Amino acid sequence: GQQVMQIPQYQHVQEGEDFTTYCNSSTTLSNIQWYKQRPGGHPVFLIQLVKSGEVKKQKRLTFQFGEAKKNSSLHITATQTTDVGTYFCASAKSWGKLQFGAGTQVVVTP
């Protein structure tokens, strides 16, 4: 079935630096959602992208949906220790079902 691939699997970032994580699919996605899971916590919804080329910002987080709707990215500027966690992208199916990627685990060093 359709899968979303996330890269990188792990991201070590120095506090204050920027980084980007990517979500790729071989097929066109109807939309994409991003979730964040803090260590020991549960996934929490961040944002949903629906339109081709859509860009949305949440403070230091910038989310982008590719023009072909086959990829998405999450860019974090000036990383803080509160950004630690695993970031998942997920593609939506019918009945509210989501196909989750494997996630990017982010570690921030002070």
Please report whether residue 103 would count as binding another protein according to CB under 8 A: yes
Please report whether residue 59 would count as binding another protein according to CB under 8 A: no
49-84 in b/e form (b: 16+ CB < 10 A) is beeeebeeeeeebbbbbbeebbbbbbbbeebeeebb
CA distances to 29, 35, 51 from 54, in Å: 13, 17, 5
State in angstroms the smallest separation of the CB of 104 from another protein.
Answer: 12
106: three-class secondary structure by DSSP: strand
Please report whether residue 42 would count as binding another protein according to CB under 8 A: yes
State in angstroms the smallest separation of the CB of 101 from another protein.
Answer: 9
Please report whether residue 84 would count as binding another protein according to CB under 8 A: no
| One of 53, 92, 106, 110 touching another protein (CB under 8 A) | 92
List residues near another protein by CB under 8 A: 30-31, 33, 41-45, 48, 88, 92-98, 100, 102-103
